[in-house]
Amino acid sequence: MAIPRIRAAVLALHWQVNVIRPEGFFGPMLAAPVAASGVVPRAVRLHAAAAERGLPVAFLRFTIPVGEGGLVRNTGFMRSVAAAQTDFRPESPGTQLIPEMAEQPTAVFDNQKLSGWRTVRCPNGSMSRASTRCS
């Protein structure tokens, strides 16, 4: 009996300046605890180990394109992000991957949800579930 090949990937969410760095939108709230935790160097090692073993490393960025894409303002948190949406444009400095991880992605996807299991816009402009491949 043949054993089906297991497909796996590392899904790296929100490793962007707005979330991780002091100068980012959430920096005043998140940068110090992130730095104190030591999670960034551990995640860099995890991504590198996965890539060395041939696993794709897919990064998801939280961005807000002009027109707001799929942004839903259903919480105070999301309303505050919507109010500052120019800080979350795909080309803005805050949405860029942190320097330690900038060279690690196999692919980068943008979405307007806090969950990586939502629909994302693929590089070719089509829409796909983050848990599936872009065509």
**Edge-to-edge order in the sheet of strand 107-111:** 10-13, 57-62, 107-111, 119-121, 127-129
- How high is the pLDDT of residue 115? 73
Q: For residues 53-59, give the mean pLDDT.
A: 91
Count of Cβ atoms closer than 10 Å to residue 25 Cβ: 21
Which token pair is 46?
Answer: 């995890």
pLDDT for residue 1 is more than 60: no
- Give the integer Cα–Cα distance in Å for 30 and 28: 6
77 vs 51, more confident? 51
Q: For residues 94-105, give the mean pLDDT.
A: 96
pLDDT for residue 132 is more than 80: no
- How high is the pLDDT of residue 92? 97
- Do the bridges between strand 127-129 and strand 119-121 make them parallel or antiparallel, or are there none, so unpaired? antiparallel
